[in-house]
Amino acid sequence: MKKVYKFSRMFKPFAVLSIALIISGVIAVAVRGINFGLDFQPGFLQEIRIAPTAFSVSYTGAARVSAELSPSSLSFVVTGAGADNTTKTYAFSQYPAVSDLIAAITGADGVPGLTAAAVAQEAVQSRELFVNSAVSAVLTDAPYRFYYADALSHYTADDVRNALSGIEGVSVKELGEAADDAYQIRIPSSGAAGENELMQTQVSQALLGAFGAENVAVIKTDFIGAQFSGSLVWQTSLLVIATLVLIWIYAAIRFSWDFALGAVLAVIHDALIMITFIAWTQMEFSTTTIAAILTIVGYSINATVVVLDRVRTNMKTLNVSKFSDILDNALSSTLSRTIYTTVTTLLAVISLYVFTTGSMKDFALALIVGLISGAYSSMYISSAIIAYIRRSWKPTDELKPAPAYRRSSFDAEFSE
């Protein structure tokens, strides 16, 4: 027979610890607030890269020529009255270097009136090219630039913050690493008419003034409206409440009302612990964070149900005088299962945290905190609540051990 650990002795100390952590989270939210992402508040969101120009093209003809860059080729689409509607495509497999690409563009088979000029002094691969999405792809006599990632001209998020220091409420987050890095710029908005366009102009002027037009490429720009962000908050709240209600109904039907209460409060505990962590660290609270919280809700309730199922089985087979003894036995028999599943899942999530960046890294960090909290709450929080509700519990005839209890396959699987 396996050793039974007295988990119940730590119910009160850990309950006090959890209450203290949650209170600290309330203080953090009141003092520091929640760092809501633009999913939950109106504002301006732009992703940029600071990188040098590889080459530029310009057009002086009468037709309409637009550039289209894909991961595998560069195309020029020629349209307009009096012009042959054609598309010139230059595959990077055929022109792997930018020098080869420029030679083909300016060659005899190129688009008449289209010129290209190299800017970079080094060999640049065609597949490394990207463009500024904020600039029209319709070519004129003004240079249309193609940029490339250069490890020697690496900037930091602090450099971008300093360039935008004159804009109120701006925040900058670095995405990627080394030469492939990008920067996410966020500015909250009051929703006033024309405010987003003004923000875009201010950001553009500040960046171009600090780094030069030949070194700034906008990858994408988004505007989040107040109505959208408000509806998202409401829908998220309904989603979480509906999840808790369904968990309550499931646990109440499968077990009993006090077991259901312990399971739901344990899940709420895990969510509050994660919010406490998010508030103190100022991690961005976004839809990715909501996904992490709901993932942990599912993980936590699964771990709790395993313990509750063992408790229900022990109520029929153990002859004890206190309900806490039943809980101790159930927790001891499922301890190895809890440790194995938590550790193996943590290994995968830690790898995700180490080898990813941006929102995925935040998602993994939130999961790490949630996994630890979920294992802890399934053993101590839900069990402590049930023990308190059944503190006056007394064994009855139907709870006495059956004369011939046969170990089930479920017991064999989760007692190891």
The 10s digit of each residue's pLDDT in 336-395 is: 888 898 899 999 999 988 888 777 888 899 999 999 998 899 889 988 998 888 887 776
Taking the C-alpha atoms of residue 252 and residue 300, their distance in angstroms, rounded to an integer, is 17
Taking the C-alpha atoms of residue 156 and residue 160, their distance in angstroms, rounded to an integer, is 7
Does the pLDDT value for residue 401 go beyond 50? no
Does the pLDDT value for residue 123 go beyond 50? yes
Asked if residues 216 and 134 have their Cβ atoms less than 8 Å apart, the reply is no
Report the C-alpha dihedral over residues 370, 374, 376, 377, rounded to 10 degrees. 120
For the stretch 73-83, pLDDT in tens is 999 999 986 66
Taking the C-alpha atoms of residue 182 and residue 187, their distance in angstroms, rounded to an integer, is 17
Average pLDDT in the 97-123 region? 88
Question: Bridge-partner residues for 36, per DSSP?
Answer: 285
Amino acid at 69: L
User: Is residue 19 within a helix (H) or strand (E), and if so which, with residue range?
Assistant: helix 11-31
Q: Give ∠ CA 93-98-102 in degrees, rounded to 5.
A: 105
Question: Bridge-partner residues for 58, per DSSP?
Answer: 115
Rg of the chain's alpha carbons, rounded to an integer? Answer: 30
Structure tokens given for 168: 């109120």
Taking the C-alpha atoms of residue 137 and residue 158, their distance in angstroms, rounded to an integer, is 31
Helix pair 287-317, 358-376: axis angle to 10 deg: 20
Alpha helices in 38-156 (DSSP H): 98-105
Taking the C-alpha atoms of residue 171 and residue 308, their distance in angstroms, rounded to an integer, is 46
Residue 139 carries which DSSP code?
-
The contacts of residue 14 (CB under 8 Å, 6+ apart) are 376, 380, 381, 384
Q: pTM to 2 decimals?
A: 0.61
Asked if residues 49 and 183 have their Cβ atoms less than 8 Å apart, the reply is yes
Does the pLDDT value for residue 72 go beyond 90? yes
pLDDT tier at 101, thresholds 50, 70, 90:
very high
Structure tokens given for 162: 């300093």
Burial of 163 from C-beta contacts in 10 A (0-12 / 13-18 / 19+): buried
pLDDT tier at 397, thresholds 50, 70, 90:
very low
Taking the C-alpha atoms of residue 83 and residue 37, their distance in angstroms, rounded to an integer, is 48
Does the pLDDT value for residue 412 go beyond 50? no
Taking the C-alpha atoms of residue 86 and residue 89, their distance in angstroms, rounded to an integer, is 10
Asked if residues 293 and 274 have their Cβ atoms less than 8 Å apart, the reply is yes
Asked if residues 25 and 274 have their Cβ atoms less than 8 Å apart, the reply is no
Per-position DSSP letters for 341-388, written without gaps between them: HHHHHHHHHHHHHHH--HHHHHHHHHHHHHHHHHHHIIIIIHHHHHHH
The percent of residues above 70 in pLDDT, for the chain, comes to: 88
Give the number of other CB atoms < 10 A from CB of residue 48. 25
Asked if residues 373 and 385 have their Cβ atoms less than 8 Å apart, the reply is no
pLDDT at 38: 62
Helix pair 287-317, 257-281: axis angle to 10 deg: 150
For the stretch 200-213, pLDDT in tens is 888 889 998 888 88
Does the pLDDT value for residue 415 go beyond 80? no
pLDDT at 317: 79
Burial of 120 from C-beta contacts in 10 A (0-12 / 13-18 / 19+): middle
State the first-to-last Cα distance of the chain, in angstroms, to the nearest integer: 12
Which range among 207-216, 219-228, 308-317 shows the weakest confidence by mean pLDDT? 219-228
Asked if residues 38 and 220 have their Cβ atoms less than 8 Å apart, the reply is no
Give the mean pLDDT of the chain: 83
Does the pLDDT value for residue 406 go beyond 50? no
Q: How many helices (H) and strands (E) does the chain have?
A: 11, 10
For the stretch 224-276, pLDDT in tens is 766 556 676 677 778 878 888 888 898 888 888 888 899 899 989 998 999 99
Q: For 21, how many CA atoms within 13 A lie in the half-sphere containing its CB?
A: 17
